[in-house]
C-alpha cells in the first residue's frame, strides 16, 4: 500500500508538472512570437528612417543575421537583399507585403516555407523614392524554444521529482501508519479515518461471524472427538494421499500411537502389506475388508472411500475387535461337528443292532443284550439331545420365568436320583447344609447340582466319598461339591467347561459322559449371575464351588 500511494503521488506530481510546463511553454511561445513581430516593426521603422537619411550607403553597413533586409523596386525587381544575391532573386511584385506597401505605404504578411521548414514574418514600408523596404525575420520554432529551455526544464523536473519523492514518501507513511496501528480485535474502536467506517463496520461484522463459525467448528470438532473417542471401534480418517487426518482413542491404542500420528503417512504407522493393498483397493472405489491379529486379539478392518461429487476425498478405516465373535464362530463350527459325531455314534450302534436282529443273525440268548444296547444308546441320544436343547436355550439367554427355589431341597432330590449310581460305584455321598432359597430356574439349578454330583461320582474310585456342602455366606449361597477322585490336571482346568471337552475321551465315554455337563453348569451358573471356582489335584480329588 505504501508503494502504491508513493507511486500515485509521484505519477500525479509528474503529470501536473509536465502539463504545467507544456502550458507555460505554449504561452511563452505565443508571447515570444508577438514580441518578434513588434520588434520587427520597430526595427523596420528605424531601418527605413536610416535609409531615407543615408541612402544606399546604409545597405553596405547593414549586418544582421537575425533580420533579413530586402529592397524592392516599384516594378518588383529586387535591388538589394542582405542574405542573397539580389540579381538571382525573382520578381517580388506578387509578394503580399510588397503589393500592400506599394498600395497603402505599409504591408505585412507571414508565410510558411516548406523548403526552409519554418514561418517567416515580413514587414514592408514604401520609401519616398517609390522603392519598398522589407524587413523579415524567421519565426522561432518550438524545437528551438524547447532546446533553449531544456536545461531549465530538466532542472525543474529533477528538483520537482526529488521534492515529490520526499513528500510522497512521508505522506504514504503517514497515511499507512494509522492503518498499521489498527487494533484488529477491536476494529470498531478505530476512528482514525472516518471514511473507513463503513468498511470497518463490514469487516467487524464479518470478524464476528467468522469468530462464531470458528467457535461452532471447534465445538463440532470436540463433539466429533468425544463421540469417536467413546467408540469401542477404531476409526481412522485418511486423506487421499494416505495422511492421517483423524484417529480416535481406540485406533490409537490398537496401532500403538499417540496424537502425533495425525499428519503422518498411515503406512508409516501400519506397515502391513495387506493393509496397504486394502487402502489401495478402497481408493479405487472398491469396498475392502481384512482380518488380522493384533496383540493376541482378532480384528476386522473395513476400508471405505469417502467421496464428494464423484471425487475421492479420502479413506475411512474402521476396526472391530471380533475376538469373541471369531471364538463363537469357531465354537459353533466345532460344536456342530461334535454334535454330528456324538449323534452318529449311538445311531450307528442302534442301526447295527437293529439290522442284526432284523436278519435273525443274533442268537436267541443274545437278543436281550442287543435290545438293551438299543435302549441304552437311544436313552443316551435322548439325554444328549436334552442337553443340547438346554444349552441352546441358555445360549438364547431369554428371560425365563423364575421362582423361589430351595437349593437344599434340590440337592436332596439330586442325591436321591444318583443314589443307585453311587451305590453301583460304591461311592458314599454326604450332604452338609441348610435351606438356601434363591430366585431362579428350578430346572437349571437342578442341572447344575446334578452334573457336578454326577461327575464327582463318575470320576471317583470305589470306596471314596463325595461331599456336598451348601451354606449361606455374606449374603451369597455357596455350593461346593468335593470328591476324592482322579483329579484334573491344571492345563485342563480352564477347558473342561467347553462343550464336548473331555480330559480323557475314552474314560469319559466308558463312564457314560457326554462332554456337555460342565458346559451346561457354566451357562446355567452364568444365567443366575453366579461364579464358579475349581480346585483340583491329580489323584487327590476335585472341589467345584459355585457362588450365587
Ligand atoms: P462328561 O460328560 O465327559 O463328564 P463334562 O462336561 O461333565 O463332560 O466334563 C468335562 C470333562 O471334565 C470330563 O470329561 C472329565 O474329564 C472332566 N471332569 C469333570 N468333572 C470331573 C471330576 N469331578 N473329576 C475329574 N474330572 C472331571
Residue 482 has pLDDT above 80, yes or no: yes
Instruction: Dump the DSSP string for 105-171.
Output: SEEEEEEEETTTTEEEEEEEEE-TTS-EEEEEEEPPPHHHHHHHHHHHHHHHHHHHHHHHHHHHHHH
Residue 316 has pLDDT above 90, yes or no: yes
Cα separation, 339 vs 354, in Å, equals 23
Nearest CA to ligand 1 atom 18: 455
* Ligand 1 atom index nearest CA of 456: 23
The alpha carbon of 502 and the centre of ligand 1 are apart by a number of angstroms equal to 6
Residue 191 has pLDDT above 80, yes or no: no
CA-to-CA separations, 83 to 73, 118, 127, 227, in angstroms, rounded? 17, 17, 21, 110
Cα separation, 436 vs 448, in Å, equals 15
Cell numbers for 170: 512521508
Predicted pLDDT of residue 477: 96
Sequence-separated (6 or more) residues with CB below 8 Å from residue 200: 187, 188, 190
Residues 312 and 338 in one domain: no
Nearest CA to ligand 1 atom 11: 502
Predicted pLDDT of residue 508: 63
Q: How confident is the model over 359-412, as pLDDT tens digits?
A: 988 888 989 999 999 998 999 899 889 888 888 888 877 767 789 999 999 999
Residue at which a domain ends, from 283, 299, 321:
321
User: Which pLDDT band, with edges at 50, 70 and 90, does 415 fall under?
Assistant: very high
Domain that holds residue 220: 184-228
The alpha carbon of 497 and the centre of ligand 1 are apart by a number of angstroms equal to 9
Pairing status of strand 428-433 against strand 465-473 = parallel
Residues 191 and 222 in one domain: yes
Q: Which protein residues are within 6 Å of ligand 1, measured from CB?
A: 451, 455-456, 459, 483, 485-486, 488, 496, 501-504, 508, 513-519, 542
Total domains in the chain come to 5
Predicted pLDDT of residue 144: 74
Residue at which a domain ends, from 120, 145, 170:
145
Residues 454 and 520 in one domain: yes
> Which residue, chain included where needed, has cell 479420502?
314
Predicted pLDDT of residue 180: 78
Residues 137 and 193 in one domain: no
Residue at which a domain ends, from 228, 263, 295:
228
Task: With 0.75 as the threshold, say if the pTM is over it.
Answer: no
In a domain, 222, yes or no: yes
Q: Which residues pair with 302 in a beta bridge?
A: 289, 318
The alpha carbon of 413 and the centre of ligand 1 are apart by a number of angstroms equal to 21
The C-alpha torsion from 320 through 324 and 330 to 335, rounded to 10°, is: -150
By C-alpha distance, which of 525, 520, 513, 522 is closest to 392? 520
Secondary-structure percent of the chain, ordered helix, strand, coil, rounded to 5: 55, 20, 25
CATH number at residue 348: 1.10.287.130
Residues 490 and 466 in one domain: yes
* Ligand 1 atom index nearest CA of 516: 6
The alpha carbon of 398 and the centre of ligand 1 are apart by a number of angstroms equal to 27
CATH number at residue 282: 3.30.450.20
Cα separation, 422 vs 485, in Å, equals 13
Q: Please, what is the average pLDDT of the chain?
A: 89
Q: How confident is the model over 490-525, as pLDDT tens digits?
A: 999 989 998 888 888 776 666 667 788 999 999 999
Residues 416 and 485 in one domain: yes
CB 499 within 8 A of CB 335: yes
Residues 235 and 222 in one domain: no
User: Which pLDDT band, with edges at 50, 70 and 90, does 463 fall under?
Assistant: very high
* Ligand 1 atom index nearest CA of 513: 2
Cell numbers for 536: 483340583
Cα–Cα–Cα angle for 330, 333, 336, rounded to 5 degrees: 145
In a domain, 445, yes or no: yes
Query: Taking residues 453-461, what's their average pLDDT?
Result: 93
% of the chain at pLDDT higher than 70: 96
Nearest CA to ligand 1 atom 21: 455
Amino acid at each position: 500500500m505504501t508503494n502504491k500511494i508513493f507511486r500515485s503521488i509521484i505519477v500525479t506530481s509528474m503529470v501536473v508538472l509536465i502539463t504545467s510546463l507544456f502550458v507555460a511553454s505554449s504561452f511563452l511561445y505565443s508571447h515570444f512570437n508577438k514580441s518578434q513581430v513588434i520588434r520587427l516593426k520597430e526595427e523596420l521603422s528605424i531601418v527605413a528612417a536610416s535609409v531615407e537619411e543615408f541612402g544606399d550607403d546604409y545597405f553596405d553597413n547593414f549586418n544582421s543575421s537575425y533580420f533579413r533586409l530586402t529592397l524592392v523596386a516599384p516594378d518588383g525587381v529586387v535591388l538589394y537583399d542582405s542574405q542573397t544575391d539580389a540579381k538571382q532573386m525573382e520578381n517580388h511584385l506578387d509578394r503580399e507585403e510588397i503589393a500592400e506597401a506599394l498600395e497603402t505605404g505599409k504591408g505585412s504578411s507571414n508565410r510558411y516555407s516548406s523548403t526552409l521548414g519554418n514561418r517567416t514574418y515580413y514587414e514592408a514600408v514604401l520609401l519616398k523614392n517609390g522603392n519598398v523596404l522589407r524587413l523579415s525575420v524567421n519565426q522561432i520554432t518550438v524545437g528551438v524554444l524547447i532546446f533553449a529551455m531544456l536545461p531549465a526544464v530538466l532542472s525543474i523536473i529533477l528538483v520537482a521529482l526529488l521534492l515529490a519523492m520526499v513528500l510522497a514518501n512521508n505522506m504514504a507513511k503517514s497515511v499507512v501508519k494509522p492503518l498499521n496501528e489498527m487494533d484488529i480485535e477491536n476494529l470498531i474502536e478505530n476512528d482514525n479515518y472516518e471514511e473507513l467506517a463503513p468498511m470497518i463496520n463490514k469487516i467487524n461484522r464479518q470478524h464476528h461471524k467468522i469468530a462464531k463459525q470458528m467457535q461452532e467448528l471447534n465445538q463440532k470438532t470436540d463433539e466429533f472427538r468425544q463421540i469417536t473417542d467413546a467408540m469401542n471401534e477404531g476409526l481412522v480418517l485418511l486423506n487421499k494421499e494416505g495422511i492421517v487426518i483423524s484417529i480416535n482413542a481406540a485406533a490409537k491404542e490398537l496401532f500403538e500411537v499417540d496424537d502425533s500420528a495425525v499428519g503422518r503417512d498411515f503406512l508409516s504407522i501400519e506397515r502391513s502389506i495387506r493393509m496397504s493393498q486394502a487402502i489401495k483397493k478402497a481408493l479405487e472405489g472398491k469396498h475392502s475388508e481384512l482380518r488380522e491379529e493384533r496383540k493376541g486379539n482378532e480384528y476386522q478392518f473395513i476400508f471405505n472411500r469417502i467421496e464428494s461429487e464423484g471425487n475421492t476425498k479420502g479413506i475411512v478405516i474402521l476396526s472391530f475387535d471380533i475376538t469373541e465373535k471369531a471364538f463363537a464362530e469357531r465354537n459353533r463350527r466345532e460344536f456342530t461337528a461334535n454334535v454330528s459325531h456324538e449323534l452318529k455314534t449311538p445311531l450307528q450302534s442302534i442301526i447295527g443292532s437293529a439290522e442284526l436282529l432284523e436278519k435273525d443273525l443274533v442268537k436267541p440268548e443274545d437278543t436281550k443284550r442287543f435290545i438293551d444296547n438299543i435302549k441304552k444308546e437311544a436313552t443316551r441320544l435322548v439325554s444328549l439331545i436334552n442337553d443340547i436343547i438346554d444349552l441352546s436355550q441358555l445360549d438364547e439367554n431369554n428371560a425365563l420365568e423364575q421362582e423361589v427355589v430351595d437349593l437344599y431341597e434340590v440337592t436332596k432330590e439330586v442325591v436321591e436320583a444318583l443314589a443307585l449310581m453311587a451305590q453301583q460305584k460304591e461311592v458314599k455321598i454326604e450332604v452338609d447344609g441348610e435351606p438356601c432359597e434363591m430366585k431362579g430356574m428350578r430346572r437349571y439349578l437342578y442341572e447344575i447340582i446334578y452334573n457336578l454330583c454326577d461327575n464327582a461320582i463318575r470320576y471317583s474310585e470305589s470306596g471314596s466319598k463325595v461331599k456336598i456342602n451348601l451354606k449361606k455366606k455374606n449374603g451369597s449361597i455357596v455350593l461346593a461339591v468335593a470328591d476324592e477322585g482322579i483329579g484334573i490336571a491344571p492345563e485342563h482346568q480352564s477347558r473342561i467347561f467347553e462343550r464336548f471337552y473331555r480330559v480323557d475321551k475314552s474314560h469319559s465315554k466308558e463312564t457314560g459322559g457326554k462332554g456337555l455337563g460342565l458346559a451346561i453348569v457354566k451357562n446355567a451358573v452364568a444365567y443366575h449371575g453366579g461364579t464358579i471356582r475349581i480346585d483340583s489335584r491329580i489323584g487327590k480329588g476335585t472341589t467345584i464351588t459355585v457362588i450365587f
